[in-house]
Structure formats: structure tokens, C-alpha cells
Chains A and B, each alone.
Chain A
């Protein structure tokens, strides 16, 4: 053989030896030397027979062999590890169950909240290029920055704005469907022609006599009739046909909007000061939000210059649709995301503790395997396989939990969560969960594994200090969560304790659509009839308190003759009521009289003010007999005839604002009203109304208590969820404390035996174990309280009537945690103190 060829037959096998690094270490240790020799032999034979070409061919074949066999050997060893791991778990079912359950809870909580965050905050809305959709509001000079838009302003913005491709207005209202079938009151949206084009790019077009139905309404009312297009409907006394049905995925505006109608042209002729339209726009491609905002600011300023009477001081606000849809939920969800992150960390710490304790129990097994020559990497790999297996089992159980939790949420339909229909576990959530599981598995084994790899077996197995530190962290994390939950609970209790200004108990609210003809007469006879049963109280109001829509009925007033008619108005909320409303709601009449049937059209105009207004504007005077001019009717003087108690109108967490009540008999303009009846069964009320008008739509019947509970429902939901998570954290942390203290007490068994033999009494042993456990717990409480001091500011927007740093909450949580943890320590301490020293010493000698 030529010398160069000969050298090659020696160099190539050496290179092959390097390439064997692709095989698992365990396999390499066993076979690498033989494999190199094997290949060397092959090379020599090939070179002898065919020279260079033989050597090259042989090398290529062997390379292919390596590429095929290395992954296979890896897989085989992984399966072998997995089989071993399964056997180990089956052998210790208690450990397996505890670990899997802990992780399932941690991962389940995480994937549930992640699903919500992902769907509600991160997933774009289901419209083409949703990032370009913005809502247009007007900003009032009084600081209301999301006010509706007036039709003339809308027309001006639409014709002049260059930063948008299209602009459409809509106005949500009711519509009465009277044929085909039973009469029904529906939520309807009146839209300008471009509405669906703005949202969908191109879409159905409601016409002067054709309507667009929602998918849900089409399914419910028409059972998904495929021949629906062109069907005739009778809506608000007019005939129209069904022009289109929207796809199921279309969600915009109110959840129960059943149909979309073309906005009547008459709307556009409204005065410039009548702001009632919602407006949606699509930004021109490539136009940034700030650019568009600058343009709308300039347009608003020019409108203010051109129409000072209606627009002075008014601005324009563009808000991305996503931001508006998600709204206040954002902060709550982010807080919950943080909370479940904590839970996962606690779960990981628990798993870490369980694994450390288990490694300690397997001390002799691992020792024997090491002394028999098992390579440490092999053992690390085995331990990692076991914990990753636990993590994946935990993740599967966690996904199951999360699936059930989301089903439950969909059933409960909390008002606090928008876009809940879209929420489902999808591939990304599963990917997130698996990533969490891997993290939990690796993080849980990391501590013992790192030490094993450093070959520091003894410390790895004991890990006592590490276990103590894990307890401190667990307790601290759960203290932070408990304090957060405590603050939300205090907020809720505070809100529940607030007086709404009316007594919601035993009263029922109905919404009725008032007949067009003879409305005043209808109102009068309805109220008189409903009030006639002994003990019954009944009255109507244009809009009930705490039921939203407060932007619409805010006007200005002046006090006559103290202030000039066109002077700067004071703001008030206007409510039109019939006699009997105060009695129905049990709102106290503090001074003067209620409205009567005599306060009707043609009689001298009168009003009743509430105590918030009286206090602010008639501090030391008697308001009765004074006159007010209201801005919406060019200032006819109206006499104040009564003062009613103040009511929380906008929300329970907003102070009562000045209100003026106007007799509905005098101004029966509203097309619908809410009826409140106290002391009569709802069926009797409906029957009575039907006697007056057989086709009168009566709907939205609910106890008045619903107003209050619906208003605080989002807070109750946040409180319940965070409370649940905090309780979970406490249970996990207490389990962790129990596990570690049991383990530490077990390790000190010999020492305890000696102490007892030397005369220590059981209470002293009890204290010894308790002290060791509680030292870590107390450190955790201190650390957690300090962290809560720094973190509770994140809750600011979710709190009401409670400061983020609330000493009673902090103290109560510290106490609760200390009690829970000492109970967790007590069981192992009692066990240790009841040991028999003779038995221990005998065991240790054996």
C-alpha cells in the first residue's frame, strides 16, 4: 500500500472516533473502542482491495451507517429510561400522585388564564386587518373623553378626514318584531351604509327596507332556515325583508344585537349638540394612529371654530377597537397571569422538594449504581426523564382541569369577560402548557441534577439547606397572592356595604315599550292600576340607575333667577319618572312632594332634585319653590317641588352625582321605560299591563337586586378567581412545608432518639421540630410581606375604598399563613415527639 493511502487508513478511523460523540455517552463508553477498531479494519481491507476509491466508498457507507444508527440508539435509551421511570413511579404511587396533582393544579391554573389572556388580549379581533380599526369619540370640555359623536360632526369628519379609508356610524337601540310569529323586542343596531364595509372590507348592506340578521338570531328565531333571504318581517310597524345573515364569527357591539338596520336619514338632521352616535373607522394603510389622531385633533379644532355653540372645547379621540373591546379586563387578566405564574413557581418548588426528598430516599440505590460504574450523566439523564415524565403527566391532567374550568366559565358567562365565546384551548395553548411542563420538570430536577453532575453526591442527596430555601420562597409567594386576594375581598366587602341609595330588595324591574299613540294616557292608567293593590308601589323611570348609558342624559342647568340664562351650566343627570317611582325603589323623599297625576302636559313645569344636587347648589337654602332652567329645552323655568335621596347612578364605585327628576307625564317623549314594582308578583304585573295593551312588549324582567349585583359582578369575579388562586397557593405551600418538615424530622431521627435517651421530654422535641420548620415559614412571611409592599401597587385600578398597603389585610394574611404553616408543621412534630427512643437506637444499631 502506498504510504499516503496507508496514512489515510489510520487517520480516517481516528476522525470516526470523534464522530462517535453523536451516540449517547453510555453507548460510547461500551462500544466506541471496538467500533473504531472495526472501522479501521474495514478501511484497511477496502484500501487493499480497491485503493483510494475503496477507502472513500467505505467511509461514505460508514458515515451513512452512523447517521442512521445514532438517532436509533438515542431513542432506544430514552425509551429504556422511560420504562424505568414508569416502573419507579408505579413503585411509589404516593409520591407520583402528589407530584402529578401539584403540577396539574399549577399547570391547569396557568393554561386556563393563559387561554383567557391569549384569546382576549393577544388574539386580534376576527376582522380583516383589525389593527386598522379604530373607534371615534368626542371629548367633552368636562373631561368625558369617550363621548358619542353627533351626526353633523360625523358627516364632517367623514368628508374631511384623509387618514382613514372609511367611516361609519351606528346606534344601538331596540326594535319590535311583530311578524312572523310572537311579538318580540330585539336589540337592533342602526348603521350608516358603509358600516360592514369598514369592518369586513366588503359586506352585506342593509337597505331602506332590508335588514341584516345575526347568526344567533337567525338560528334561534328561524331555526337556521336556509330560505331566510327575502323573507318578510314586520319591524316597528314597517315591512322589511331579510337581506343577509352574518357569519357566526361576527361579533361586534352588544352581544345580543339581533339585527342591523339602515339608519334613517332623519338621524343625520339632528342638531350638532345631540351626540349619540358610535363611530368606527378604518385607517388608511400605512397611516399610524398618532398621525390619524393629529388629523382628527385638527378637524375637531376647526369644527370648534366653526360651531362654537355646540363644539367649543370639544375634541376628538381615536381608540383602537381592540383596546376598547378588551377595556378594563386587561389589568385584571394581567394580575391573574402574575398570580398563576406564582402558583406555578410554588408548584415547581414543591416538585423540587418532593424530588429532593425522593433522591434522599434513593441514596443507596444511586450509590450502588455509581459504585458499579454507572456514569453520572446516565443517572442525571434517568432523573431528568423521571421528572419530565411527571411533568407531562401533570400537564395532561392540568389541561383536563383547564378544559373543565373553561367550560364552567362559559356556563357562568361572567360579565367581566368579553369575547368569551371565542375562548377555547387551541394548539398554541397546548404548546404553552407543554413548555410550562418542560420548565417545571427541568426546574424541579435542576437542583439535585446540577449537584450530581458536579459529582457532589452527598450534598445533592441531603440538600437540606436548599429545601429550607424552597420553603421560604413558597411561603413568600403565597403571602403575596393572599395579600392580593385579601385586598380584593376587602374592596368587594366595602362595595357590598355601600348604600346604593335605593332598597333593591323585593322590587322587580320590567322594561316596556311605550305605545306611540296616547302615551301619556297609557302611562297614567298603567301607574294608577299598578299602584291600586294594597301594599303595592309602582312607578316608571326613563333609565334605571346602574344600568349604563350614562353619557346620553347629561345636561346643564342654571338656577333661576340667581344666574343668567346663558351662563355656564352646572351638569346633572336627567331622569324622567312617573309618580310612584320613589316608592317603588324605596328612595326617600327628603323634602317637598312626589309628582302627582296633576303634573302633566300643560300644567306648570316642575322638577324634583336629589340631595347630591341640593347639597352642592343649595347649601344653606331651601331649594323647594326655587326655579331651575334646563339646557335641553332652552331654559323654561321649572319649580323644584321635592328633594329625593341621592342614588349611585353610574356605578357602585362612583359617588352619587347630581340628578334632576322630570315628570314623565309632562314630557312623555321616551319610547321605552323601566317599570319598578314593589309588593306585587311579576305575573300579576304583566297581566295588568296586557289588559291595558294586548301587544305591549314587556321584557328584561329582573329583580332590582340584579342591578347592584351586575354592577359589582366583575369585581366579584376577580375576587373569586384571585381568592381561589391564593387559597390554592396556600394549600400548595402548606403541603410543601409539611413535606419538608416531615423529611427533616425523619433525617434527625437518630439525633432525636439520643436527645430523648438523654432526658429530653416530648414537648421539647415537639418544639425542636416546630422551631426548625417555623423559622423558614417566618422568613417566608417577612419576605412575602416585603414583596407585597412593592407589588400591591399593581392592584390599584382594581381596588376601591382600600389602600394597596392595607395594614389589616397584611396582618391578617401573615397570621393566616402562620397558622396554616404551623398546622402543617404540627403533624410531623407530633410524630417525632411520640417516637420511642429505645426503638430508634435499636434501629440505628441494626
Chain B
């Protein structure tokens, strides 16, 4: 599983897809909602990242309605996301042990 940290955009997209499939705009809304508007993905960044994640097999297209495509995590994507979450959790526990977090 990943040694290098994932790009923030990639991890946010994975988090948005963790509880089910979404279309492009749905992903953006979910990320905005969860970060209280701090992170807002532009269309270029979002679709550029989705394209790369598709090529790397982290996500796949699911149902294709007339107007927009839906995306979901693949097994690989889910495992990568879990590993990244664990990496972050470890970092947080170290930070807590060093009394950086209350």
C-alpha cells in the first residue's frame, strides 16, 4: 500500500466515494460539505484527477445515465484509501503523543 502520501484531491475524491457512487458534481458537493467549503475542486482539477484515477484503476465508472457518468471506488481504490487513512491516523497519534493535539 502507498508509502507516498496521496495528493489531497485524490484522497478527498476517495473519501467522497467511500460511501457510494457519485457523479462529478456530486463529488464536488460532498467534498465542499465535508470541509465546510474550505476545499472546492474546480472542474479541470476534478476531471483531470478522475481521468488519472481511472487510468490507475483506483475508481471505475458505474451506471452511465444520459447526461453524466457515475464513479465508484474499485477494490484497489478502497484499499489505497484505507492505507492512506491509516497513515494519517498514525501521524495524528504521533502528534497527540507529542502533545501537539489536545
Contact = CB atoms under 8 A, between A and B. Distances in A.
Nearest to A26: B51
B74 interface: no
Nearest to B28: A38
B46 A38 contact: yes
B28 to A, nearest CB: 7
A69 B52 contact: no
B42 A30 contact: no
Interface stretch (A70-78, A305-313, A550-558, A831-839): A70-78
Interface string B50-69: 01100100000000000111
Nearest to B49: A69
Contacts of A62: 42-44
B79 to A, nearest CB: 23
B48 A39 contact: no
Output the residue of B43, B51, B55, B68 with the most chain A CB within 10 A. B43
B33 interface: no
Nearest to A36: B43
B43 A35 contact: yes
Interface in B6-41: 24-25, 28, 40
Contacts of A76: 48, 51-52
Contacts of A42: 43
B69 A34 contact: yes
B47 A66 contact: no
Contacts of B93: none
B45 interface: yes
A65 B42 contact: yes
A23 B48 CA distance: 10
Contact of B44 (A37, A41, A70, A80): A70
A68 interface: yes
Contacts of B28: 38
Contacts of B67: 37
Contacts of A692: none
Nearest to A70: B44
A37 B48 CA distance: 16
Interface string A773-790: 000000000000000000
B5 to A, nearest CB: 18
Contacts of A31: 47, 51
Contacts of A41: 25
B42 A61 contact: yes
Interface in B58-100: 67-69
B68 A72 contact: no
A24 to B, nearest CB: 10
A61 B37 CA distance: 14
A315 B51 CA distance: 80
Contact of A72 (B48, B55, B69): B48
Nearest to A45: B29
A39 B43 contact: yes
Contacts of B40: 61
Which of B28, B42, B44 has the most chain A CB within a 10 Å cutoff? B44
B22 to A, nearest CB: 13
A69 B24 contact: no
Interface in A39-70: 39, 41-42, 61-62, 64-66, 68-70
Contacts of A68: 44-45
A39 B41 CA distance: 11
A84 interface: no
Contacts of B52: 76
A598 B55 CA distance: 102
A240 to B, nearest CB: 71
A28 to B, nearest CB: 10
23 contacts: A27-B47, A30-B51, A31-B47, A34-B24, A34-B43, A34-B47, A34-B68, A35-B44, A37-B67, A38-B46, A41-B25, A61-B42, A62-B42, A65-B42, A65-B43, A65-B44, A65-B45, A66-B42, A68-B44, A68-B45, A69-B42, A70-B44, A73-B48
Given A62-B42, A68-B44, A73-B48, 8 more contacts: A23-B44, A34-B43, A38-B24, A61-B40, A62-B44, A64-B42, A69-B42, A80-B55
Interface of A: 23, 27, 30-31, 34-35, 37-39, 41-42, 61-62, 64-66, 68-70, 72-73, 76, 80
Top-7 shortest CB links A-B = A65-B42, A69-B44, A35-B43, A31-B47, A38-B43, A69-B48, A65-B44
